[in-house]
Chain A
């Protein structure tokens, strides 16, 4: 009998297994209110997987995926630039990129809201440029805020792989006739794939369940999986815990499926390359 694993087992039971089982139990209740227990069944799931809720789930998946891709697309050139700086400047830049992580998420999103509200600086700049589309309370605004909010989370996993890139590898590639694009395609990107997948997992999963941004920026007009679940549990009008539990389980299944696919897509690691898991463990 091994006792060393006991704290971990207790922790997992109390905070993962029990809530999960309770969520399962909740989700098979037929009625809207838990105290009016009735016959069990999967009607909540049926409701969750049919319009309009199936549309919301698909929407959340698509938007989270697109926003994750944008975040990584923006982060890669920045991280590449930082990783090539001389060590002292590099430390300063990493610090600057990490500062937002020290700020409360709500505070950061609120600050962003100040920029994109109708009389906000960003909106005014866009208007000046001739783009007259409101950002607050729109999908575009929510999307931009998602990208902004999750950008700092992508930096560190990406930085760990870019920092380890051996400059002589890219030199060797250009020596053998590779131009900039070919160096990225054949040398740099294959070497940083584990970091890209790690940061994708890092931002995609919380984005899928994100409700703060749609609620604050969307002003209740943009619905997402996260806001739906929140309103089923805490909503003032018609809370429905069993339905909320069913939606939560759908979210869990979606996130797990995407995680599974992301890891399956990875090429086998080789020496000198960190695996996605080791990067996730470090963070």
Chain B
């Protein structure tokens, strides 16, 4: 891919003889807000350290505008890192922290002062320039760390869960600020987080890591609507899995809801189904809670209800029902309905469930011969 600022090519890494990253490849485009998302221990911080130059990969290559930077020490890479614990220098004041990178570049003093103040202005910390680091709150330290990273105007800024230590309110505010800052500066951001909402709130594209492997890479919309694996489906948003059987790559039958749906087949479904095989492919459908609709079933109705309300959560705009399916699987699904359109149902109510979505992702069971 041309126009990519950073290309990660087949990167593998070991820590203490354990494979932490396995053959990872992706590209980050110039000016993009790119997130590395995954549960803790998936190797995302290791990958960030490799990109920053603190760790060397066991194999693979890092390309910067098509040129290899794999062996380059951190100080020679045109990127800056915002550390998880901020790593501000406690013996320097706010200004000196922000000016550090500029001083290392040996810029003239007037320019250092100008650019450091400019960076502090960006994060609205200019009045604090002469403060000591230990006089700042967590959110303020976060801003200083950000200003320190962007002051030398690197092409790429790496952020290692920078909002992790902040409370929810501040975190949401910082998400908006980070995104607008990134747009304003036109810099490329690689943001590491385990928080799916955070990644979705800011990113242009997201790479999902699991156990050192790349599960999927794409825009938030694609990841939510067409997750490539059950792991991604479960990791992003809420997921209901309904047992189903697919006859071909187009349609599947879901016995619990007594319905046929159009499917988006994933992975092994097509590959493993042999032409001479007449048996159905067993698997699961991914149905998001808001893709399900329920209607109360009157007691005298002759239609057999296919669900029973177990529990209800009133979430404000939405009501979430946990419904037990009345089939042999006895499994539970979550159903979100708009609170303005529905009256509350009591626990134990019999309900009928419908799928509202057009095409549903289908994951075939892995055959274990």
Contact = CB atoms under 8 A, between A and B. Distances in A.
Interface of A: 166, 168-169, 171-179, 182, 186-187, 190-191, 267, 270-273
Given A182-B104, A186-B100, A270 B91 contact: yes
Nearest to B160: A168
Contacts of A267: 91
A174 B75 contact: yes
Label chain A's interface by main secondary structure.
helix
Contact of B74 (A168, A169, A171, A190): A171
Contacts of A182: 104
Given A270-B134, A271-B134, A171 B90 contact: no
Contacts of A172: 81, 83, 87-89
A177 B87 contact: no
Top 10 closest pairs, chain A to chain B, by CB: A177-B104, A176-B101, A271-B134, A168-B87, A172-B87, A174-B74, A190-B91, A177-B75, A174-B75, A175-B81
A273 B134 CA distance: 11
Interface string B34-70: 0000000000000000001110000000000000000
Contact of B83 (A168, A190, A271): A168
Given A172-B81, A178-B100, 9 more contacts: A169-B87, A172-B89, A173-B100, A174-B53, A174-B73, A176-B75, A177-B101, A187-B89, A270-B132
A166 B75 contact: no
A190 to B, nearest CB: 5
Contact of A270 (B87, B90, B152): B90
Contacts of B81: 171-172, 175
B350 interface: no
B105 interface: yes
B12 interface: no
Nearest to B99: A176
Given A175-B74, A271-B134, A169 B89 contact: yes
Interface string B9-36: 0000000000000000000000000000
A191 B91 CA distance: 7
B142 interface: no
B90 A175 contact: no
Contacts of B79: 175
23 contacts: A168-B87, A169-B87, A171-B81, A172-B83, A172-B88, A172-B89, A174-B53, A175-B52, A175-B74, A175-B75, A175-B80, A176-B100, A176-B148, A177-B101, A177-B104, A178-B100, A191-B90, A270-B90, A270-B132, A270-B134, A271-B134, A272-B90, A273-B90
A166 B132 CA distance: 18
Contacts of A187: 89
A176 B91 contact: no
Counting chain A CB atoms within 10 Å of each CB, which of B53, B100, B133, B148 scores highest? B100
A199 to B, nearest CB: 19
